[in-house]
Structure 1
């Protein structure tokens, strides 16, 4: 598994975010029975930059906590049959499945951790778990979909001992 991290803000995320990202991604992939080694790009940024990207791609001119850009058009969440060994979904040098890109705002990690009364580690891990599920085809456009995602996020974080 490769998580390529690009840190593009001066505000420091003073937690072991590399290890947390690997731990969370690995467990989500295990729970979702992913049969491939994967690659994910993670951009750690600030509210201003995530606002620009949110405006460009979602037409919402406001900062958000996390954005996910899946590479694979899953028809059903974590249904890997859509991949069918298609070269365009793999890094040809490493044979890793290219799941997509994640962007997390450090500013929102800090403010939401305070707002929800839990640790910075828990907030970062929650946002990354949420994004990993999006990269695997999960969404929360309906109450039913939201309930599925929330249950999966909670299980993954509980299993890892990353609690509120």
Structure 2
């Protein structure tokens, strides 16, 4: 079950389409869908989580807490809408594309993809692009 929660004034348009898309991402990677909670927030909210739980005193666009058991993907994915908007401007892409990149990024981490080394980061970008393309395909 995929749920969207809001700690800011932002809301996703067409939640049902996003939910169906995320389910297809999980299926395309050969995993089963468990309980996945997206929490949309602002920089301040996510910064506090970053400091309190990860001991990182930096701003970030996403933090995911992975509770996956075996093949069942589960977790909480916190997304700073402020950071995503800023990144979209920096990367000169539409906000809608950047939010899809971040939403898929969290799921890809649960699937085992990393982004710490240059090689891993490149593979993560390729997988994100692949999953963003899936958003526009009706099933």
Normalising by structure 1, what TM-score?
0.73
Offset at 1:51? 0.3
Normalising by structure 2, what TM-score?
0.85
Size of the alignment, in residue pairs? 137
User: Are the equivalent residues in 2 in contact too, given 1:24–1:157 (CA < 8 A)?
Assistant: no
The answer for unaligned runs of 5 or more in structure 1 is: 74-82, 85-96
Give the alignment partner of residue 55 of structure 2, picking from 42, 52, 59.
Answer: 59
**For 1:47 and 1:71, how far apart are their aligned partners in 2?**
24
The answer for unaligned runs of 5 or more in structure 2 is: none
**For 1:69 and 1:136, how far apart are their aligned partners in 2?**
13
Q: Which residue of 2 aligns with 1:8?
A: 7
Give the alignment partner of residue 116 of structure 1, picking from 85, 91, 104.
Answer: 91
**Aligned residues: CA RMSD:** 2.2
Q: Specify which structure has the bigger relative contact order, considering alpha-carbon pairs within 8 angstroms and separated by 6 or more residues.
A: 1
**For 1:45 and 1:23, how far apart are their aligned partners in 2?**
22
Q: Rg: which structure is higher?
A: 1
Q: Which residue of 2 aligns with 1:102?
A: 77
What does the per-residue CA deviation read over 1:121-156, in whole Å, with 9 as the maximum and x for residues that have no partner?
111110000011112222112222222211111111
**For 2:40 and 2:65, how far apart are their aligned partners in 1?**
14
Runs of 4+ off more than 2 Å = 17-21, 158-162
Offset at 1:116? 1.7
